[in-house]
Amino acid sequence: MQAQPPNPSLAPSLAASNLACRRGDRLLFRKLSFTLGEGDALHITGANGTGKTTLMRALAGFTTPFAGEVSREGELGLLDERPALDPDLPLGKALGFWNAVDGGGDPSQVYGKLGLSNLLEVPVRYLSTGQRKRAGLAALMGRSVPIWLLDEPLSGLDTAAIETVTRLIEGHVKGGGLALIASHQRLEIEGLQTLELGDYVPARAVEEEE
Ligand SMILES: Nc1ncnc2c1ncn2[C@@H]1O[C@H](COP(=O)(O)OP(=O)(O)OP(=O)(O)O)[C@@H](O)[C@H]1O
């Protein structure tokens, strides 16, 4: 059976139903359900090792959950600590690849906002941690996908960049997109909902941690 192509006329949505994920033989979380639609932003919190990255990857379809289902309407993009940018290409060319693939509009405004305009000739491998993170977001924005999965999008960013990226996320959801943000940092985003992943950790796993 052929997969149905996404229907851009439908509003984006992302839902998890009774989701459980494990790593090795350890059940990280279970009975996790939520539904997000156009304009929703959800902050996923949880101590180190709770399973936030695992959850993001399961939602993105990169790993199969142990139980439950993920359903979505609309394309998604995942920003994690490994931005999909060729390390050997100059940043501008590496970002241009994504723009060409997904047919985004003129990216120069985004580069300016994210402070990347002067770095476009620099090979990706020479970028600092914060610059790389900003480049990853620029790549995501170039793709014009409605669903953003952001794994620690603010880590390694300076104060000004934290503010910029926060406003870009807010702008994305206000424009009808939706965003899930796994972060240890406080997020100042209007209407933000919060999901504490620790609430879904099975009791035995909590005892093992103690
Ligand atoms: N490949 C793997 N095999 C087995 N266990 C793994 C593997 N990768 C991660 N884990 C374990 O799965 C658990 C969840 O990891 P995950 O990275 O999802 O947590 P996290 O909540 O994102 O943590 P952090 O806040 O530190 O980023 C951790 O205990 C980790 O050690």
Average pLDDT over residues 91-103: 74
Token pair in block for residue 49: 């090792």
What domains are there in the chain, each with its CATH number? 12-74+147-160+173-210 (3.40.50.300), 84-145 (no CATH)
Least confident of 55-64, 80-89, 176-185: 80-89
Cβ(45) – ligand 1 distance below 6 Å: no
Residue 104 CA to ligand 1 center (angstroms) comes to 33
Asked whether the predicted pLDDT for residue 39 surpasses 50, the reply is yes
Residue 136 CA to ligand 1 center (angstroms) comes to 21
Cβ atoms within 10 Å, residue 48 = 6
What letter would DSSP give residue 120? T
Is ipTM > 0.90 here?
Answer: yes
What confidence tens digit (pLDDT) does each residue in 142-198 have?
Answer: 888 999 999 999 998 999 999 999 999 999 999 999 999 999 999 999 999 999 999
Token pair in block for residue 28: 């990280």
Residue 7: what pLDDT?
55
Cβ(48) – ligand 1 distance below 6 Å: yes
- Phi, psi (deg, nearest 5) at residue 160: -65, -40
Asked whether the predicted pLDDT for residue 121 surpasses 70, the reply is yes
Q: Is 210 exposed, middle or buried (0-12, 13-18, 19+ CB in 10 A)?
A: exposed
The DSSP bridge partners found for residue 195 are 44
The DSSP bridge partners found for residue 149 are 78, 180
Q: Are strands 26-37 and 13-23 parallel, antiparallel or unpaired?
A: antiparallel
Q: Is 9 helix (H, G, I), strand (E, B) or coil?
A: coil
Comparison of pLDDT for 36 and 110, the residue scoring more: 36
Cβ(49) – ligand 1 distance below 6 Å: yes
Helix (H) or strand (E) holding 171: helix 159-174
Residue 87: what pLDDT?
92
